[in-house]
Structure 1
């Protein structure tokens, strides 16, 4: 019996064919991504594209099962394709070692996919993919995990809330996939200093252990990795030297950064790091106390020079402990020697990568809030992603409320009762949208303002914003229609503004009389284009809704795009789950237990009947999950499903 026959029996012929013919984009090949790619290939999806810029690190191997020791420092996307392809050779897998925010991945590119799965580890990239999916009108299945907690959210423009409909807190967990090569936040630098550099210098070297066990990798790659490891080992072997601090500084903040800059593909869409000169520590004379007084100042941010002083001071203290017989030194936020080392190293690395440093007090708090990833949570969430994806393909996204996992034994899996509608004040999904085609060398802001916004779309008072802020404003209430402050911008081309910042342009209507909702223009560049700038098609831009007024004169609903549900925020993509009870739910008495047409319903010990508050037939709650149609047995559409809506 062929593989396709099993798919048809499991899903039913119509859905099995839809799965086979769909084009899927998977963004991220890390903890969730590895599990999800395996699930997609084994579920019969015919065409999967994987995008990930990261490379494989030793710390990934305990949970990212598609990778082995011989894959360290290789592309995650390429190795994931190679490993997952063995599960199902019939699946076409395309691997792209690139940043999903690259300009080549524009709205039209996103439109080429049937459904998109997010398996990312940082907030900024999540928001970008969410915005692109909303603009392209392609369904998105968003997911995230933090320790034992996880969530899966199906998103479709105009039907469900999007990722930005609720406010998200800044993640307190760290994306381990980027700390070694492309840090973008201070927490990445902190983890690098704490879990990598400190361990390599005064602990057990994981890098050397990995290379010693590697006998099957590419010979040239292994030779290169062993050469790098040998250089680091040479530095570590000088722990009894008076110049040890300077040797470490030169290796990790100068030579290693120069090597990283040579990897040109990494810096196509981001600023490259700036190596510090090896003589950086010689620009000033070290303080007489060696920096002891400086390290006591924990409330202010140290300058790069002061961070070097603290770096030198802390390494000398750790050196003494090592030479006194403490052969393995581990980080403890209450250990002042290791804390000073992590603070100084993290701030120096932040300086190299153009990241804002922080005080010793702040870094101490950040270093204590690191939550490890758990492989089981990733696997559960990846499975839920595919189940929600199947609902999307069946056209049942209205039956795909947000699903949560948590540590509770009584309610380890739960789901919201209904799909949340879009937040009408959301700046991403509750706007009008149009495609704007441009030739970047000749298309100017003036052409956009005068030919498109004023002449074609009829705007009078408005502001134009890109990723960097307001670039033009026209307000007749302030006298001159074209404020001199913005006049110079009108002659600038899109290329001069920077295409990265001009990927989306937002038009905000400043009219006092019935202003329209914000208009989002998705910019698509064309090299062979007969016009400098042109709208693909015009759509009706609705009036901005007036918030309802209560009897007390207070408006209900969201303010500034933040709903009450968002007050508790989210961490690393985890949105707070449904409450344990709601006002319109009550347990029914045994005498009230009736099904359709008044027929009694048998209740087991794990089952409660719940009134939906709308005089509808009761639904069944099994172990904390509300199921409207708990068991679906359809011989045409496939095997028995447990439907978690």
Structure 2
């Protein structure tokens, strides 16, 4: 708020704002005048509030930081100031597989221009060791991403040595994975995120709160498909349309071709897609047979035909179905309100906007086939002058979606038509070694034509509909879903996380002691709530939550396992699975069940998955369907079966 005031551009708060975090004060140690007295240490300010004994607890804490980006850097700086992990028992582990890019420097303050290209985790570690020499040898940098494939690195011994985990991640999948690991190992998790001026913090405490994955955000705003396809009225609509076109021309068909050449059952699987079968197989035929270019000139021809299809023919067809003077059933003009009547574009190779589309589309199409591209505009003009484009005649009976809830099924292809397409496809063996290069959208490389194509395609559509075109910068901003990262949001969010970390170090066990934070610096809005309590379930007289499980020691046989639950917990196991493999079910053939009952669980898992259990795995995670005493199907926790000590 002070920065806003100094800027002279933003309006700061003009009222009293009350904020406290009295719950962060320790209860596990006694605060006396003596314990809060300065001791000539760099932590005297913190000791004055929390006391010397609590400072020792902070120093002896063992924390794992996942991610060393914007939030990660700010978090490490705070921890260096707090002295976290600097004691005899203390330790900080940090992992990030990324290297530093130039664009990181404006908000990841532990990095300098000379660090570009270096590993984030190692550079951040060196930076905080310079800030606080007490951190030397106490911070361990890793470069392994967290995931199933690195559970040999971040395994049982690693997690059991930790006191807590802090996420500083930028994607939901990694957050959910870390959430599952923290629930499994019953470790407190501090979660946070920022989006422009918005930020949030969440604290996850074993046996107290719900976990990160227990709730989810509402879906992102999306535009109705009929608006994008036929009735755009804002530049955002045409940019999203161009972004979808990019995928549909340069990524999806190329991936389908590669799958066809690699997977023998591709045609069979495509036919099971119902009305989409024709679109998929037609795309493969087009990219392999009918429109496969052998030279760059043919890529230019392809791009010229695409221009005609999208900006002239389709618009003519739309106006044929709905002429500019057509009325709706209620007698009002069809082209009114948000619906703008379009005009077809007549191609002109001297119009830069038209030529930009041809250059970018031809180069991306050439990339699909591994052909050498070209950017000389005169060369393009000379090739374009020789291309003859057939005149378009609108067709009757073409259905066009007008309302979002109006389902217009793609015309089902008849068997004969589909068979013709399949017959035209070359056999994969005749193209051994041939593969297309799918284009994966990358907004930050200015030489790859990706943003240039989307800008050109979007602006031509904007011209069709009389929408003001957008420059390349704005197009990149919208198509790349870029939300500026603001250092002040990051610093506020990490400060709130550290206030919760004090509570975890103190071992607080009351829900009301913890706070989840929600902020928006633009409004400004600061909201705090107690975390949501964990949901409780029940079987027989036993209450359980997501933090509970059955811990079973020993590599039992299947029969011993079934007997254990029958005799000890009065539960009849009807189905048992490990990950996606079914180990046992009541409807299995009797002979198979009898065979499996004598096998040890580890043996059974290895036989069904056809893979050995990795040596670092100490326990199997099993899911069960069970019946209770009265034969009713009930929900129970998962099973952790320890097979190795």
Query: Normalised by the size of structure 2, how large is the TM-score?
Result: 0.50
Distance in 2 separating the partners of 1:74 and 1:503: 37
2:582 aligned with 1:471: yes
2:180 aligned with 1:66: no
Q: What is residue 148 of structure 1 aligned with on the other side?
A: 197
Against the structure 1 CA distance between its residues 383 and 475, is the aligned structure 2 distance closer, same or farther, given a 3 Å change threshold?
same
State the Cα distance separating 1:117 from its structure 2 match: 0.9
Q: What is residue 289 of structure 1 aligned with on the other side?
A: 301
Q: What is residue 95 of structure 1 aligned with on the other side?
A: 141
Question: 5 Å matches for 1:147-296?
Answer: 147-168=196-217, 285=294, 286=298, 289-294=301-306
Distance in 2 separating the partners of 1:471 and 1:153: 36
Against the structure 1 CA distance between its residues 404 and 97, is the aligned structure 2 distance closer, same or farther, given a 3 Å change threshold?
same
Question: 5 Å matches for 1:505-520?
Answer: 505-511=621-627, 513-515=631-633, 517-520=635-638
Structure 1 SS opposite 2:501: helix
Distance in 1 separating the partners of 2:516 and 2:495: 14
Distance in 2 separating the partners of 1:339 and 1:437: 65
Distance in 1 separating the partners of 2:131 and 2:458: 45
Structure 2 SS opposite 1:159: coil
Aligned counterpart for 2:485 among listed residues 373, 380, 383: 373
Q: What is residue 415 of structure 1 aligned with on the other side?
A: 528
State the Cα distance separating 1:152 from its structure 2 match: 0.8
Distance in 1 separating the partners of 2:120 and 2:221: 24
State the Cα distance separating 1:33 from its structure 2 match: 0.3
Q: What is residue 67 of structure 2 aligned with on the other side?
A: 28
State the Cα distance separating 1:392 from its structure 2 match: 1.5
Task: Give per-residue Cα distances to partners, 1:308-339, cap 9 Å, x unaligned.
Answer: 52657999686539999xx9999478623589
Against the structure 1 CA distance between its residues 503 and 333, is the aligned structure 2 distance closer, same or farther, given a 3 Å change threshold?
farther
Against the structure 1 CA distance between its residues 435 and 88, is the aligned structure 2 distance closer, same or farther, given a 3 Å change threshold?
farther
Structure 2 SS opposite 1:37: helix
Aligned counterpart for 1:320 among listed residues 363, 377, 388: 377
Give the conservation status (yes or no) of the 8 Å contact 1:23–1:113: yes
Against the structure 1 CA distance between its residues 409 and 6, is the aligned structure 2 distance closer, same or farther, given a 3 Å change threshold?
same
Q: What is residue 137 of structure 1 aligned with on the other side?
A: 186
Question: 5 Å matches for 1:70-81?
Answer: 70-81=114-125
Question: 5 Å matches for 1:358-369?
Answer: 367=479, 369=481
Structure 1 SS opposite 2:583: strand
Against the structure 1 CA distance between its residues 100 and 334, is the aligned structure 2 distance closer, same or farther, given a 3 Å change threshold?
closer
2:64 aligned with 1:37: no
Distance in 1 separating the partners of 2:596 and 2:477: 43
Structure 1 SS opposite 2:83: coil
Give the conservation status (yes or no) of the 8 Å contact 2:184–2:547: no
| Bigger fraction of residues in helix | 2
State the Cα distance separating 1:481 from its structure 2 match: 8.4
Structure 1 SS opposite 2:199: strand
Give the conservation status (yes or no) of the 8 Å contact 2:518–2:527: yes
2:46 aligned with 1:7: yes
Distance in 1 separating the partners of 2:162 and 2:197: 31
Distance in 2 separating the partners of 1:406 and 1:497: 50
Distance in 2 separating the partners of 1:20 and 1:7: 12
State the Cα distance separating 1:506 from its structure 2 match: 3.6
Distance in 1 separating the partners of 2:102 and 2:478: 23
Structure 2 SS opposite 1:457: helix
Aligned counterpart for 2:558 among listed residues 443, 446, 449: 449
Give the conservation status (yes or no) of the 8 Å contact 1:172–1:370: no
State the Cα distance separating 1:78 from its structure 2 match: 0.7
Structure 2 SS opposite 1:10: helix
Aligned counterpart for 2:130 among listed residues 86, 109, 118: 86
Distance in 2 separating the partners of 1:485 and 1:493: 13
State the Cα distance separating 1:307 from its structure 2 match: 9.9
State the Cα distance separating 1:483 from its structure 2 match: 6.8
State the Cα distance separating 1:374 from its structure 2 match: 1.8
Against the structure 1 CA distance between its residues 168 and 450, is the aligned structure 2 distance closer, same or farther, given a 3 Å change threshold?
farther
Distance in 1 separating the partners of 2:173 and 2:478: 19
Gaps of at least 5 residues in structure 1 are 174-189, 195-279, 300-304, 341-362, 525-532, 537-645
Give the conservation status (yes or no) of the 8 Å contact 1:151–1:402: yes
Against the structure 1 CA distance between its residues 31 and 76, is the aligned structure 2 distance closer, same or farther, given a 3 Å change threshold?
same
Query: Normalised by the size of structure 1, how large is the TM-score?
Result: 0.50
Structure 1 SS opposite 2:302: coil
Give the conservation status (yes or no) of the 8 Å contact 1:117–1:140: yes
State the Cα distance separating 1:69 from its structure 2 match: 2.0
State the Cα distance separating 1:84 from its structure 2 match: 1.0
Against the structure 1 CA distance between its residues 492 and 470, is the aligned structure 2 distance closer, same or farther, given a 3 Å change threshold?
closer
Question: 5 Å matches for 1:598-609?
Answer: none
Aligned counterpart for 2:365 among listed residues 301, 309, 314: 309
Against the structure 1 CA distance between its residues 29 and 448, is the aligned structure 2 distance closer, same or farther, given a 3 Å change threshold?
farther
Distance in 2 separating the partners of 1:405 and 1:23: 28
Aligned counterpart for 2:546 among listed residues 430, 433, 437: 430
Against the structure 1 CA distance between its residues 472 and 292, is the aligned structure 2 distance closer, same or farther, given a 3 Å change threshold?
farther
Structure 2 SS opposite 1:34: helix
Against the structure 1 CA distance between its residues 410 and 53, is the aligned structure 2 distance closer, same or farther, given a 3 Å change threshold?
closer
Gaps of at least 5 residues in structure 2 are 1-39, 86-90, 223-238, 244-287, 315-360, 382-445, 461-474, 539-543, 598-602
Aligned counterpart for 1:126 among listed residues 166, 175, 185: 175
Give the conservation status (yes or no) of the 8 Å contact 2:183–2:547: no
2:524 aligned with 1:403: no
Distance in 2 separating the partners of 1:139 and 1:168: 21
State the Cα distance separating 1:71 from its structure 2 match: 1.7
